[in-house]
Structure 1
Amino acid sequence: MEKWFISKKKADFDQIGKKFGIDPVVARLIRNRDITDEEEIRRYLSGTLSDISDPAAMKGVKEACILLQEALRSGTKIRIISDYDVDGVISNYILWRSLKNLGGTVDYTIPDRIQDGYGMNTDMVLQAKKDGIGLIITCDNGIAAFEPVAEAKKLGMNVIVTDHHEVPYQMEDGRKQEILPPADAVVDPKQKGCEYPYKQLCGAGVAFQLMSALYRAEGREEKELEPLLCFLAIATVCDVVDLTKENRIFVREGLKRIGFTENIGLQALLKAHKLEDSEVNSYHLGFVIGPCINASGRLESAEKVLKLFLETDPDEALETAQELKELNDQRKGMTNDGVRDALEQISRNGYDRDKILVIYLPDCHESIAGIIAGRVKDKLHKPVFVLTKGREGIKGSGRSIETYHMFEAMNEVKDVFTRFGGHAMAAGCSLLDESKVDEFRLRINECCTLGQEDFIKKVTIDVDMPVDYITMGLVRQMAVLEPFGKENKRPLFAHRKLFIERIQVFGDNRNVIRLSLQSDRGTRMTGMIFEEEESFRQKMGEGKQYITCTYYPDINVYRGNESLQIRIQHYFFT
């Protein structure tokens, strides 16, 4: 079920347009994103790296830099331990490359998703000690690794934790008390007392800022780190953190540089997807490049990707990039099967009556549980956990909706887990065995306070604007709003009642629908819908000739000719 709303935030759009040289419609779109004062608008439209906060303001950065400088001076062996997803792998690469350039003796470890699970564990700590490691630095994990960090300290190693996830806590006298790992330095902008003003960095963002502070401390030019911005852009988009303020600047700056990257592995990844001569945008990062990086950590080892980024032979790099693309194609098929099985289970067992969906797919590859949960969540607009049988107990991933803070809810039933972590919109967990699945389903639903209105998907329309007003100039100017992503979504317009003159269906799976449309003023427009034909025909029914829709305008280029079209997002027929 959906409810459509038109945003009615007020401002002097003509004045804003004149001040910043933009169309009043674009000014309205910026206001709809709660960007109001002139300095915020300037940063949104043209913010640069000079607008990024001082990394020294981040709690723990000073202590971490001192430890790293001591390790660099003494030749101490440094080991980076990351997560296995896009953000983790890229955080690892940013730290490795930066420390290596400073002359550090540094190597890395990435957990195996199946054998090791998420984040640093005690076995990795013991192995680090055997290997003569003197300093462990985590990235995109570690904030909940209390026991492994304690073991590392017991064995005489220094530990720096860099992370961006929520800090674990326990309730004492009705108040949250943080549980920090006993590291020598903890760098996480979400920890209490951290004065860094922007809290929404991804793990790679935290790692990059730490390296920025270290390069300053070492008297090195921070410009030396700029080639890493294209990697930071990929991590920021793929970790689905807010694309606002600093994240927005990092992604925009990274996209400027990605076409000129000298990294042979990244060049190969672009070439494998025929993007080497294209203008890469946030869509390509999130839905083309990122999934290939993730596929390695899901189905094989994430170290394969890190080795790709360290590769110096173009032929070897292209071969690995092609393998990653094939792995991702394999992952897509497995995901489609998993989504189908999940929806069947919900229907068969009557789980659709539950507020929180807990689905157990024992034969599902645990690495794609989160993707399946996300797909089911998008379809049913309910929080979803997908659990599967791991080597040691039950593993699971959850994806949430805006009205449900998943990590907070899991804290309410944390004794059912052997391990859990995450944030508002996504989480991971481990359970002892299958006997705990039903208990988890029951208890997570019992403590849920969501009402029926929380499950209605709210579609916010920026401007109720007939297609007659779309011009090439407006569409081109809207490029200043990019990059698009979480909290900076692609603008949405609406048109009431367009006459459908013709329907054409394309694509190998017959899932590209092209509509020839006409407004009541006579404006003709092509409308594109990306959906399976069967679903589209069912919604249309018999005798319907008009479509009311939300849309985003863009320019279609075919054989050098440009024409306006709309990409239809939500619709109904009359």
Structure 2
Amino acid sequence: MNWKFTYSDEIETESFLPDLNLSPMTQRLLWQRNVRDIDAVRRFLSPSLDDLHDPFLMDGMEATIARVRLAIQQEEKILVFGDYDADGVSATTVMVQALREAGADCDFYIPNRFTEGYGPNEQAFRLAHERGFSLIITVDTGIAAVDEAAVAKELGIDLIITDHHEVQEQLPDAYAIVHPKTSAGYPFQELAGVGVAFKFAQALSGEIPHHLLDMVAIGTVADLVTLTDENRVLVHFGLKALSNSERPGVKALRHICGIDGPISEETVGFMIGPRINAVGRLQDASPAVDLMLTQDAEEAAELASEIDQLNKERQKIVADIAKEAEKMMDDDQSGDNDAVIVVGKEGWNPGVLGIVASRLTNKYDRPAIVLGFDAEKGEAKGSARSIDAFDLFVNCMKVRHVFKHFGGHSQAAGMTLPLENVDMLRDELNLLAKQQLSEEDFKQSMDIQGTVDIESLSTKEIEEIDKLSPFGMGNPKPIFHIENEMKEVRQIGSKKNHLKFQFTKNGSMLDGIAFGMGDLYTCIAPSSKLEAIGELNINEWNGRRKPQIMIKDVRVSEWQLFDHRGARDIEKKLPGLDDERDYAVIFEDDGHVPLDLPVLTKESVIDSEVDSLILLDLPDSLEDLASVLQSHKPNKVYACYRVTDGAFLNELPTREHFKWFYAMLMKRGSFDLEKDGDKLAARRGWSPSTIDFISKVFFDLEFVRIENGLISVHPTPSKKDLSESITYQNKQRKLQVEKTLYYSSYRELKTWFDKYMEETEPSVKEEVTSGF
């Protein structure tokens, strides 16, 4: 990811709101959110329903309320026309309940995603006219229904549009439009569809309808609108209402989801919202509205069970389509989807394609449009999701001519287009994206609000941060940065697909959980200095509460050493290697390389950047390895060598060993190595190799002669130091290599490597051992 450090340590938290008992971290978070005076802090930390804006500041509200009251007085039939997502279902529930409580003869209609598509349509309006409806009120939809508004006028139906989606070039000719973005005098323009419906209910009843706040929380959180200003107030109180709701539908959903205790924005986003959305993704969404409107607990339980089953079916369909779409991407060599992904197939369920698009965007870090093809109609229908740097709405409006229908936001959209226009859409959006975006734009970004010192981090501080909730768009859950040595890292989960870290500093420890990052286990050396970013929370286990960080991304900025010395089956311990950047290092080339990698020797010169070196055997000298490290400066080194008959286990004989053996030769005159070597070794408690080694050193120095295994003293030996013997030098060198590279601790080994991974080039000094 792109890590964006959004904070500055220059903020003088001591002088910021000194009368408030807040930690420096919380003060910094408020400052970043532009909450910088006492009133703003009060409104942020202690929201009040009194902070809600007057609904009549919204254009069209007075005309709408007057028309509805007239309809109630004249006993007209009112139809609420909703949408099939969680916001639309919630908005429909709020509008229907508010109208019925005011005495209206009211029903609702949600179009079928598969047979009618998104938004109002002529057939539905004509059917409503046949059934005697004279007033239609849309919720969470309608701002693009120009043709349908003309149909309503033709039929003599008054059409009131309440919506929150982006306004297009032409507004429908409706009786009234209630929309924050068409109301210059309304202080907040980012309400969800259910928020607009709630403001209507407030205007109609003349008071704040507290009993509808539970629905407002669901739709506002699920629709990912900004949780600032009025939305923050609505969700703050809406979550409390949801947690304590006596609505049978909510209680049934809580039971089917296994929700105990208070409901948070995360509960809505990951458990309640997806289940409501699942209904409209696979069939008519009316059962979801029925669930929220029913007063019968038994009916609510049956509807909740049906909805839960639909959600499980939806999950399987999404997984299957995502797998097909990813294979299309992996197999695509054309480059046509380089900047914007546009994929489609006959038979893909249009109801789940937004979720699939989200998965593709997250995996490939680029905007994605996923379409279901209908050859019979000659249409492609689907959904799109985008990255931060690419505004879908603005860019799709530049190619509006390729669509039959289009609507949405900067990051999400839905569309229908002729099949023959799919290639044109792909080509034009890719061209626009390549003109606007840089390589960095195609990486996911994460804004970081602060760096944490684990020594001072406490559960009290995390609890204080949680007071900034509800978190969401516009008020994201804070992401924090830590940089500490790891005490350990290990894989967890039944499939070993998650990681658990333990960071340490001066005796203080912090656990970190990284979901879905299990495949990084072989890429992180246990003692590396790791940087991580994530969300802070409190882990409760067996009555103990301690801070932990839920990790979103990690990085290691320094080179890493992976210690697999002496291990067998090293292929299983190594990550997926790249034969263009990773090299097997061999010092004694016997023609056998256990890895499918290019081989690097001490004489090799590699011009390209080296990522990893896998050391498969020990060098003859430390200088040889130092030269390789200094020449290539790898990011990772894997020590995979073994020792079978090491010099270190057969220690270098001492000076006394040599003196005694020479004195013995002088006394005896000669010695038969083959006949008496083992006997002498046993009597002295030496190994036979020690006798052999001393003899070879003396031979090198011309102290003795050896013929057919018989060793005798040279009559006129010259005076030489032991270190002048080639055999002694080789033994000494091998001993030092094994001591330094094989029998050292991990920290000692890492320290030795560090010297040669730096820019300077220190020399390798052999240990000095005097002769006799």
Give the TM-score range, shorter chain.
over 0.9
CA shift at 1:456, angstroms? 3.3
For 1:19 and 1:302, how far apart are their aligned partners in 2? Answer: 51
Which of 507, 525, 534 in structure 2 is aligned with 1:522? 507
2:190 aligns with 200
CA shift at 1:514, angstroms? 2.4
For 2:179 and 2:544, how far apart are their aligned partners in 1? Answer: 50
CA shift at 1:341, angstroms? 2.1
1:281-326, CA deviations, whole angstroms, 9 ceiling, x for partnerless residues? Answer: 0000011000000001111221011111122222331232122222
Which of 203, 215, 218 in structure 1 is aligned with 2:205? 215
CA shift at 1:539, angstroms? 4.3
For 2:90 and 2:393, how far apart are their aligned partners in 1? Answer: 24
For 1:523 and 1:425, how far apart are their aligned partners in 2? Answer: 41
For 1:536 and 1:108, how far apart are their aligned partners in 2? Answer: 51
1:474 aligns with 461
1:125-151, CA deviations, whole angstroms, 9 ceiling, x for partnerless residues? Answer: 000100000100001110001111111
Q: Does 1:432 align with 2:432?
A: no
CA shift at 1:35, angstroms? 2.5
CA shift at 1:361, angstroms? 3.2
Which of 442, 448, 452 in structure 2 is aligned with 1:465? 452
Aligned residue identity for 2:320: D
Q: Does 1:556 align with 2:539?
A: yes
CA shift at 1:108, angstroms? 0.4
What is the TM-score when the length of structure 2 is the normalising length?
Answer: 0.69
1:219 aligns with none
1:531 aligns with 516
Between stretches 114-123 and 31-40, larger displacement belongs to: 31-40
For 1:549 and 1:330, how far apart are their aligned partners in 2? Answer: 36
2:472 aligns with 485
1:319-370, CA deviations, whole angstroms, 9 ceiling, x for partnerless residues? Answer: 3212222221222222222222222212221347621111113332111111
Contact 2:533–2:554 (Cα < 8 Å) also in 1: yes
For 1:399 and 1:538, how far apart are their aligned partners in 2? Answer: 33
CA shift at 1:84, angstroms? 0.4
Aligned residue identity for 1:547: L
Which of 281, 291, 297 in structure 2 is aligned with 1:314? 297
Q: 1:353 to 1:437 in 2, by over 3 A?
A: closer
Aligned residue identity for 2:356: I
1:302 aligns with 285
Higher relative contact order (CA 8 A, sep 6+): 1
Gaps of 5+ in 1: 170-178, 217-221
1:261 aligns with 245
1:292-441, aligned counterparts within 5 Å? Answer: 292-350=275-333, 351=335, 354-390=338-374, 392=377, 393-433=379-419, 435-441=420-426
CA shift at 1:425, angstroms? 1.2
For 1:348 and 1:445, how far apart are their aligned partners in 2? Answer: 19
2:709 aligns with none
1:173 aligns with none
Q: Does 1:244 align with 2:244?
A: no
Between stretches 35-44 and 288-297, larger displacement belongs to: 35-44
CA shift at 1:10, angstroms? 5.2
Contact 2:226–2:474 (Cα < 8 Å) also in 1: yes
Gaps of 5+ in 2: 561-772
Contact 1:17–1:23 (Cα < 8 Å) also in 2: no
Contact 2:403–2:415 (Cα < 8 Å) also in 1: yes
2:481 aligns with 494
SS in 1 for 2:467: helix
For 1:301 and 1:539, how far apart are their aligned partners in 2? Answer: 48
1:174 aligns with none
For 1:15 and 1:402, how far apart are their aligned partners in 2? Answer: 35
For 2:315 and 2:8, how far apart are their aligned partners in 1? Answer: 40
Which of 491, 499, 510 in structure 2 is aligned with 1:513? 499
1:400-451, CA deviations, whole angstroms, 9 ceiling, x for partnerless residues? Answer: 1222211111111111111111121111110122x22111101122233322
2:23 aligns with 23
Contact 1:3–1:456 (Cα < 8 Å) also in 2: no
For 1:60 and 1:308, how far apart are their aligned partners in 2? Answer: 31
Between stretches 484-493 and 284-293, larger displacement belongs to: 484-493
For 2:65 and 2:2, how far apart are their aligned partners in 1? Answer: 50
CA shift at 1:33, angstroms? 2.0
CA shift at 1:42, angstroms? 2.0
What is the TM-score when the length of structure 1 is the normalising length?
Answer: 0.92
Q: 1:513 to 1:352 in 2, by over 3 A?
A: farther
For 1:325 and 1:3, how far apart are their aligned partners in 2? Answer: 38
For 2:215 and 2:204, how far apart are their aligned partners in 1? Answer: 19
Contact 2:371–2:382 (Cα < 8 Å) also in 1: yes
For 1:144 and 1:518, how far apart are their aligned partners in 2? Answer: 53
For 1:83 and 1:10, how far apart are their aligned partners in 2? Answer: 48
Identity of aligned residues (%): 33
Q: 1:454 to 1:513 in 2, by over 3 A?
A: closer
The total of aligned residue pairs comes to 552
For 2:489 and 2:87, how far apart are their aligned partners in 1? Answer: 44
Contact 1:466–1:494 (Cα < 8 Å) also in 2: no
1:79-110, CA deviations, whole angstroms, 9 ceiling, x for partnerless residues? Answer: 00011000111110000000000110000000
CA shift at 1:455, angstroms? 2.2
2:274 aligns with 291
Contact 1:233–1:251 (Cα < 8 Å) also in 2: yes
CA shift at 1:518, angstroms? 3.1
Q: For the pair shown, which has the larger CA radius of gyration, 1 or 2? A: 2
For 2:12 and 2:55, how far apart are their aligned partners in 1? Answer: 36
For 1:308 and 1:520, how far apart are their aligned partners in 2? Answer: 52
2:211 aligns with 227
Aligned residue identity for 2:181: K
For 1:451 and 1:561, how far apart are their aligned partners in 2? Answer: 48
CA shift at 1:9, angstroms? 7.4
For 2:236 and 2:267, how far apart are their aligned partners in 1? Answer: 13
SS in 2 for 1:8: coil
Aligned residue identity for 1:114: F
1:45 aligns with 45
Q: 1:57 to 1:11 in 2, by over 3 A?
A: farther
SS in 2 for 1:468: coil
Contact 1:80–1:136 (Cα < 8 Å) also in 2: yes
CA RMSD of aligned residues (A): 1.8
Q: 1:545 to 1:329 in 2, by over 3 A?
A: farther
CA shift at 1:544, angstroms? 6.2
